[in-house]
Amino acid sequence: MTANEDRDYNLVEGAFQDLLNSIEYKTEEADNQLITRAFQLAKDAHKGVHRKSGEPYITHPIAVAQIVATEIGLGPSSIATALMHDVVEDSDYTLEDIENMFNPNIARLIDGLTKISGVVSMESSMQLENYRKMLLTISDDVRVILIKLADRLHNMRTMQGMPAHKQLKIASETLFIYAPLAHRLGLFRIKTELEDISLKYTEPEMFEDLSNKMEELVNRDFEYLNKFTRTISGELKKAGLKFEVKKRTKSIFSIRRKMRNQQVTFDEVYDKYAIRIILDSKLANEKSDCWKAYSVVTENYSPNPNRLRDWISSPKSNGYESLHSTVMGPEGHWVEVQIRTKRMDDIAENGFAAHWKYKEDSSGSNQLDSWLRRIREFLDNPDNDSEDFIDSFKMNLFSSEIFVFTPRGEMVTLPKGATALDFAFDVHSEVGAHCLGTKVNGKLVPLSSPLKSGDQIEVLTSMKQEPKEDWLSFVKTGKAKQRIRQSLKKEKQLITGQGQMTLERKLKVLKLKSTHSNIQKLVNYFGLKNPDELFYKVGLGVIDNKKLREYARETAGLVNYFKRRIVKSSYAKQKPLSNEAKKDLMLVFGTDEHEMEYTLAKCCNPIPGDRVFGFVTTAEGLKVHRDDCPNAVLLQSRFANRTLKAKWIDKKGTFATINLLIEGMDRMGLVNDVTKVISSELSLNIKAISFAVDDGLFTGQVTIEVADKVALTDTITNIKQLEGISTVSRVGKFD
């Protein structure tokens, strides 16, 4: 064994022994044997593989298992799964091998983790549809995401040596997906660490500045916190309470978020300190002891009445229970005080993992099951697109909650901002669909009325009522939007089918065939997106007999005009057509030739007739580039999935603005000749013009409006024929 191999062996064995030592108090011999077998298999699967840091790869699964065991608090099966989470993906071992060597539960967990790994890799960006698939896996067994969170946490802790662009991408993805999930599952300590590390890479200068300021704050004011806690501790002892007091400062990320959201400086964030009082109480006395401690705190320090948060009477849906109050401490500093029991603190630190060990007597796990069931309901519906899913799920991840009641007094948890109609859909899809009105606290209110915690809602229904399109403008929950869209889609499909039959009948009367070509011409004529939209508007009566007759009358003139355009060789001696008669080129995209909203790229400034393609940008929508654009190779090779086939077709159109650079030998009357060719002979509009002469050499810059490439070619050809002109070239833009 070489020195390096000997070093690696000691590193791996030492790390695994540390893992076993850390769980010694809560595992039996059979558990240790299971975990050891998982370690041996993982070590064999990753043999000879090293991380970019140079350590043996097996150190990563061991570290993930350590987080799963000690920081999240899961049991032996989850620890064994964490050790083997990359085995199926990175080696020849199969799920069948895992199932045969261990058990179906571990195999199922590894299958879920492998699916997520294929969806969210360190090398590829998270896509909306992939996010949907990941959550579908989570809803089968929440331990999958708990282990994945441990995996992400270790990767975040150890990505110092990665290239900066990868650090930025992974950190951004963590803020978008994993930190909110950790928060939703009650893993607040892990959520805070993920956020702080992410900020370190997304805003490094801000992170360093805030880190230094927080360090100065702790060094300067820690004695202040000691003084505060000494006073509180003495009073709590007098009240006969058993407790522990922990002191801390706010996380760097939460400070940064407050500065951004409230548009304040660091010094203006007033509750940078937090004191946590953890009571040793029996289950039956928890609430009374917490309120007793609250009374002790507020008798000694004045509370901010707007900052009381009672999550003991109404726990968060992720199981979080605590009393929060902000009080004015000595020397005029605000201090946030959190009051909870040991059981509540265990849930706050370890989230639903704390419930997992005692699921049969955990009310919190019921809330988790309910949340996961809602995910499953939404994901299983094939009509929901990815954008819908992201919008609704992100709301459930990020928004705070309200607690409202049915007429029978049953509590319902909804996102903050939810309306009376959201409540109706939450009760049942059919109740929401036929909701005629709502009473809140006994008074009739509009369906769009936002609800507040404590409201009691009664829903009035009628079988004649059906979902309306304007409902989508004010409902907030995914369930409500999903059900409304389903109903509207069915109604639209019915009207579209009727409209297609009606259109075929009316075209027959007008002596027109309902061919695919004619239908597409009708779509273009009425400025619609696709044939279905045409059929729908016919079904609604928006496109009636009068409009169809107008189309039929114009058809003959349209055909004759296209014929004239084909035989026309030059714009030079053509009289300009009237605005009504102009038929120019428009762009359609994709194999189905859909009309879409787009802008022309400034780097190559395409005009009608150019060979072009569409590119979907992240910030500015669809951009159109020429095939010979300088950026074309880069866009079509690296981002092929975001490019669209584009094609020009005849339609009423607009002029394109083109820049021409004209060079040659200066002579008397040259400028006049150039403008005469453009304005008089070609009848084109000049938008800007400038000329310069340097030592006998002439340079002109002209911006003109042309209808298409034929006009541009004629313009360039005619100018080149002028005496003294050497080159005429089209440029993207002038400096």
Q: How does DSSP classify residue 68?
A: I
On whether the CB atoms of residues 147 and 109 are closer than 8 A, the answer is: yes
Rounded to the nearest angstrom, the gap between the alpha carbon of residue 614 and the centroid of all alpha carbons in its chain is: 23
Of the candidates 507, 540, 551, 508, the one whose C-alpha atom is nearest the C-alpha of residue 532 is 540
Provide the token pair at 475. Answer: 């409902």
Q: Where are the beta strands (DSSP E) in 342-454?
A: 401-405, 411-415, 435-440, 443-445
Rounded Cα distance between 197 and 199, Å, is 5
Q: Compute CA distances 524 → 519, 559, 588, 651, whole Å.
A: 9, 15, 10, 7
> What are 220-223's contacts with CB under 8 Å, separation 24+?
221/273, 221/333, 222/247
Q: How does DSSP classify residue 72?
A: I
Query: HSE (CB half, 13 Å, CA atoms) of 258?
Result: 14
SS3 676: helix
Rounded Cα distance between 658 and 656, Å, is 6
Of the candidates 83, 146, 152, 150, the one whose C-alpha atom is nearest the C-alpha of residue 121 is 152
Residues annotated as catalytic are 89-90
Rounded Cα distance between 516 and 558, Å, is 18
Rounded Cα distance between 349 and 244, Å, is 15
Instruction: Classify 328 in phi/psi space as left (phi over 0), alpha (psi -120 to 50) or beta.
Output: beta
Rounded Cα distance between 669 and 698, Å, is 12
Q: Compute CA distances 513 → 184, 504, 505, 519, 552, whole Å.
A: 58, 8, 10, 9, 11
Tell me the DSSP string of 421-450: HHHHHHH-HHHHHTEEEEEETTEEE-TTPB
